[in-house]
């Protein structure tokens, strides 16, 4: 395949959202919409595939993930706090996070028990001051540390397995979750130098892991043993995270970024910052709801 060419997947631009750092797509089954964030743009975006249109929701700071927390409530991470949002416009602080000042929330996931797992990233992305935290009905605990940019996690539907990404080191690790804590971590996939950096990860209904590659021009699917099964090439370099949804549950929605790209790169990558879609051929795992106190 020619470098950076479209693949046989039928990859399309769903919405030219123009995100600086699009991240964290999550399919909301109840409303049949996709939510995602633009961290550097300070946006929470809602895409309605039924209308083929998107819009922004009011938010605060630099949102980095968003998950359902009730019929019309959503929890999102922003800077050094967790916040609550509703589609009717409510936006209020849920809790402050006791973390270093030069960190911010990054990627997240909710497990079947309603626990919100999320990473804190070093803001200049140079020092290992980040880690993995969990919000459990009002209590916040830290489980992993010494991480520069944590991504994921992705958690199995039964809540027993977690995949966690150390992006600068190219490592995707697999953990057992035991008594609410990740244990027995070991390397699951190592992304080779020059292939990009692993960013967001997502599990599908067959237990396979979808990995987006920052500066890697694509998305990969790995089987439960860590073997590469499929790769979809993108027309832009900074591919960030994938969610499975749509009317039949098998549409892959993928966020991308334009931050840090120069004028010449943006001319080469006019789709950078868009929301892309393709037929994944496999269903996703419904998003769990974050349990509030």
**Catalytic positions, written as ranges:** 199
190: β partners: 171
The order of strands in the sheet holding 22-28 is 22-28, 33-38, 43-48, 53-57
In angstroms, the CA 188 to CA 157 distance is: 18
The set of residues, in sequence order, having a beta carbon less than 8 Å from that of 46 and lying 6+ positions away, is 33, 34, 35, 54, 55, 56, 57, 87
Q: Residue 263: helix, strand or coil by DSSP?
A: helix
For residues 104 and 123, the answer to whether their CB atoms sit within 8 Å is: yes
Give the C-alpha distances (Å, rounded to integers) separating 32 from 28, 35, 126, 261.
6, 10, 38, 33
Strands (E), 148-226: 150-155, 161-166, 171-178, 181-190, 197-203, 209-214, 218-222
C-alpha to C-alpha distance for 277 and 272, rounded to whole angstroms: 13
**Which residues are CB-neighbours of 209 under 8 A, at least 6 positions away?**
154, 163, 172, 188, 189, 201, 202, 203, 221, 222, 224
Q: What angle do CA 114, 275, 196 make, to 5 degrees?
A: 85
Separation of alpha carbons 232 and 12, rounded Å: 12
């Amino acid at each position: 395949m020619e470098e950076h060419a479209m693949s046989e997947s039928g990859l399309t631009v769903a919405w030219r959202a123009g995100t600086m750092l699009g991240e964290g797509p999550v399919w909301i089954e109840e409303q049949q919409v996709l939510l995602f964030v633009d961290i550097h743009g300070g946006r929470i975006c809602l895409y309605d595939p039924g209308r083929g249109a998107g819009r922004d929701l009011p938010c605060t700071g630099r949102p980095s993930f968003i998950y359902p927390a009730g019929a019309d409530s959503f929890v999102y991470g922003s800077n050094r706090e967790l916040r609550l949002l509703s589609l009717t416009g409510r936006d209020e602080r849920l809790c402050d996070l006791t973390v270093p000042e030069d960190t911010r929330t990054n990627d997240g996931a909710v497990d079947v028990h309603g626990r919100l797992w999320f990473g804190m990233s070093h803001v200049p992305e140079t020092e290992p001051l980040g880690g993995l935290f969990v919000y459990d009905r009002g209590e916040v605990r830290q489980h992993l540390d010494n991480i520069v940019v944590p991504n994921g996690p992705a958690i199995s539907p039964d809540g027993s397995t977690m995949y966690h990404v150390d992006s600068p080191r190219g490592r995707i690790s697999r953990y057992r979750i035991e008594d609410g804590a990740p244990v027995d971590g070991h390397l699951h996939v190592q992304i080779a130098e020059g292939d990009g950096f692993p960013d967001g990860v997502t599990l599908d209904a067959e237990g396979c892991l979808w990995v987006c590659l920052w500066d890697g021009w694509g998305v990969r699917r790995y089987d439960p043993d860590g073997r590469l099964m499929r790769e979809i090439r993108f027309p832009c370099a900074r591919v960030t995270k994938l969610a499975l949804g749509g009317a039949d549950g098998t549409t892959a929605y993928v966020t991308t970024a334009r931050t840090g790209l120069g004028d010449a790169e943006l001319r080469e990558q006019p789709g950078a910052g868009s929301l892309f879609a393709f037929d994944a051929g496999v269903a996703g795992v419904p998003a769990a709801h974050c349990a509030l106190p």
